[in-house]
Amino acid sequence: MMFSTIKESISFHPLGDAAIVIQAGADIREEIHERVEQLFACIEQHPFDGYVEAVQAFTNVTVFYEPYTVHQSAHLDQHGMSPYEWVKAYIEKLLEDKWQVGFQAKSCIVEIPVCYGGAFGPDLEEVARINGLTHEEVVRIHTAGRYLVYMIGFAPGFPFLGGLSEKIAAPRRETPRMSIPKGSVGIAGKQTGVYPISTPGGWQLIGQTPLSLFRPDDEIPSLLKAGDEVRFVQMSEKEFFSMKEAER
């Protein structure tokens, strides 16, 4: 798809005086996610003086920059432009010139083993009750899914996954838990996700993985990134503790 065909659906907005939000659409769906990936890749591959970082979200990319550096390097005194106006113009020209037809982001398929139910997933029975299913059916549906990582956020390494079947969708708990164990797999609405660290939260917990999603000592601390595909695989309690010991 040429950039000119989607130009009208992309908008720019300032975020404070040191960031710009590039809105790629309004809906959370794979087509918009692919557009977000393309925006992110274009900017990451062609940074400008004063560029700090780009951060992906469900439907937008936020570009952070140093206003003083942009002002000095672009000689904005001579052009009568603000740093925001210059960055916006730079990105618009960049997308016109560098948008790649048939672009595909580099992604991985990651299998996440999960021990479902019991102490590992205290809300599994509730999710089953809400949907009129047995807990075995919930597990079967959950492990049959293909889940796209739309973004990483909320907590370090936390993946927001799209693709959950409506058959096992469930609302957040009325009363959030003050502490959720690391590795807990949860459902909230039509999303599923994995808590990479122990943190408060209100998602319905259906299982737990011994796999570490947040690895602060690694060069890339998050096991997952936006664009990856996740598949959940059921494991036994014995397998859980054996893998957990190996992960230490």
Q: For the chain, what are the domain ranges?
A: 3-98, 109-247
CATH architecture of the domain with residue range 109-247: Beta Barrel (2.40)
34-79 pLDDT, tens digit each:
889 889 989 999 999 999 999 999 899 999 999 999 999 999 988 8
Mean pLDDT of 214-218: 90
Pick from 159, 156, 149: nearest CA to 216: 156
Residue range 215-229: average pLDDT?
Answer: 91
CATH number for 3-98 (one of 3.30.460.10, 3.30.1360.40, 3.30.420.40, 3.20.10.10): it is 3.30.1360.40
Q: How far apart (Å, rounded) are the C-alpha atoms in residues 25 and 32?
A: 6
Question: What integer pLDDT is reported at residue 194 of this predicted model?
Answer: 97
Of 180 and 245, the structure prediction assigns the larger pLDDT to 180
Decide if 52 contacts 119 (C-beta within 8 A): no
Q: What is the pLDDT of residue 114?
A: 98
Distance (Å, whole) CA 191 – CA 185:
11
Q: Which helix (H) or strand (E) holds 54?
A: strand 51-56
Q: Rounded to an integer, what distance in angstroms lies between the CA atom of residue 150 and that of residue 142?
A: 18
Mean pLDDT of the chain: 92
Residue with tokens 């998050």, as numbered in its chain? 222
**pTM for this entry:** 0.80
In order of 6, 95, 222, 229, the CA distances from 34 in angstroms are 12, 15, 20, 13
Sign for the pseudo-dihedral over CA of 47, 52, 56, 61: negative
137 by Cβ neighbours in 10 Å (0-12 / 13-18 / 19+) ranks as middle
